[in-house]
A and B are shown apart, each in its own frame.
Chain A
């Protein structure tokens, strides 16, 4: 019966620390962490929209966005957004049954990471240029 078995200290399924770290595993963890971060990052998006209602509020937002901590958070938010989006596309590819083979999944994981870093850097270069060099 299930009740008697439940009292026996059965071995649990191996967790993260048992396995050798692999890129696909790391990208799986990164997908969850970036999703978790974006969840709270949406507060900044809401703040940005509400702040645009008046000049004083917008000045406060611009002060935050221009500060080093603000820039760091926004850079992290940008990377998390792009990484989670590319990771999501990877999951959608998997949903079709494609890309699950040993070489494909490694390639997709690497593309996810390299793609997210590249796109984030490009977006920030465009963004900083769009601001016309003003800090």
Chain B
């Protein structure tokens, strides 16, 4: 910034460089998914343990049964949203180059959507057996 910059007011200079006013939303979604993750993680771990040592047919049948499939789909949705928010916070903390930061935030969204969709696809395939 030079030249006529000195005649700009301090407010004009900081506009567009500060908060995007989405911090509360980030915080709130992070907390909502955090709370949802607690019972869903406990349920997912219990389900996983009951599936240990069973063959593929049994695992497919149990994972695809309505209550288990719904719990797992909720688990996937909640953790992937939580993952995206958490990784965004890490990227924003450590990556200071604007281009790299934007690319990584975008990659973060792509990764979490792909992993979430892939996991959900597996569960849905087991449920509907298409």
Residues of A at under 8 Å CB distance from B? 1-3, 32, 35-36, 38-39, 42-43, 45-46, 48-55, 58-59, 81, 85, 88-89, 91-92, 95, 123, 126-127, 130-132, 134
Contact = CB atoms under 8 A, between A and B. Distances in A.
15 contacts: A32-B90, A39-B83, A39-B86, A39-B87, A42-B119, A46-B119, A48-B122, A50-B125, A51-B122, A52-B56, A55-B57, A89-B38, A123-B49, A127-B52, A132-B53
B126 interface: yes
Nearest to B58: A52
A2 B10 contact: yes
B60 A81 contact: no
Contacts of B29: none
Contact of B119 (A45, A123, A127): A45
B52 A36 contact: no
A134 B53 contact: yes
Contacts of A51: 122
A55 B59 CA distance: 10
A131 B52 CA distance: 6
A41 to B, nearest CB: 10
B84 to A, nearest CB: 9
Given A39-B86, A59-B56, A134-B53, A92 B35 contact: yes
Which of B6, B45, B79 has the most chain A CB within a 10 Å cutoff?
A: B45
A131 B53 contact: yes
A2 B6 CA distance: 11
Contacts of B125: 50, 53
A46 B83 contact: no
A58 B56 CA distance: 6
Contacts of A3: 1, 5
B52 A88 contact: no
B56 A42 contact: no
B59 to A, nearest CB: 5
Interface string B47-69: 00110110111011001000000
Contacts of B63: 49, 52
Contacts of B60: 52-53, 58
